[in-house]
Amino acid sequence: MDKHIVVPVALFFSIVWVIKLIIDARMRYLYLRGGSPQTIAALVAGEERMRRLGMLRWGVLLTTLAVAFVIIDRTGADATSALTWGLIFGALGLGNLGAYLLVRREDALLNALLPAPADAAPLTPPQAAAAPAASTPPPLA
C-alpha cells in the first residue's frame, strides 16, 4: 500500500481511539465520584466481565480464522478466489456465533447457580398492567 494513504488513515483511527479512551475514562471518573458503593461494585464487575468476554471472543475468532487459513492452504486456493473469501468471512461469522453461544451458556450457568437478589421481585400481572406500554407510531395516511 502507498504510505500516502496508510498514514492518514492510521492517524484518523488513532485520533478516534484516543477520543474514545478519554470519553470512557471521563465517564468512569464521573461514576466513581458520585456513585454509591453498589454502583461502583457493579461497574467494576461489569468491566471485568467485558474484558473476559472480549478475550473469549477474540480467541474463538482467531481460532476459526486459523482453521480457515489451514483449509485455504490445503485446497491451494489463491487470494482472489471466492473460496478464499468465503472461508475467511464464514470463519469470522462462525467464530462470532460460537463466542455468542459460549457467553449465553455461561450466563445460563451463572443464573442457575446464583440465587436471585431478595429485592428483585418477579413481574406480576398487576405490575405488568401498570408498566408503561410501548408507544406505537401513528398510522400513515
pLDDT tens, per residue, the chain with 141 residues: 677 888 899 999 999 999 999 998 898 888 778 777 887 788 778 888 888 888 889 999 999 999 999 999 999 888 888 989 999 999 999 999 999 999 888 888 877 887 666 555 554 544 444 555 555 666 665
Q: Which amino acid is at 58?
A: W
The cell numbers describing 26, all together, are 471521563
Any domain includes 67 = yes
pLDDT the model gives residue 109: 83
Which three-class secondary structure state does DSSP give residue 36?
coil
Question: What is the residue range of 15's domain?
Answer: 7-112
Any domain includes 131 = no
pLDDT the model gives residue 10: 92
56 burial via Cβ count (<10 Å: 0-12, 13-18, 19+): middle
Angle between helices 82-113 and 37-75 (to 10 degrees): 150
Distance CA 28, CA 17 (A): 17
The cell numbers describing 95, all together, are 467464530
The total of structural domains in the chain comes to 1
Which three-class secondary structure state does DSSP give residue 134?
coil
Q: How many residues does the chain have?
A: 141
Any domain includes 35 = yes
CA angle 115, 120, 122 (to 5 degrees): 95
Q: Which amino acid is at 77?
A: A
Any domain includes 117 = no
pLDDT the model gives residue 133: 53
Any domain includes 16 = yes
Any domain includes 121 = no
pLDDT the model gives residue 27: 85
Any domain includes 125 = no
Any domain includes 126 = no
Q: What is the full DSSP assignment across 53-96? A: HHHHHHHHHHHHHHHHHHHHHHHT--TTSHHHHHHHHHHHHHHH
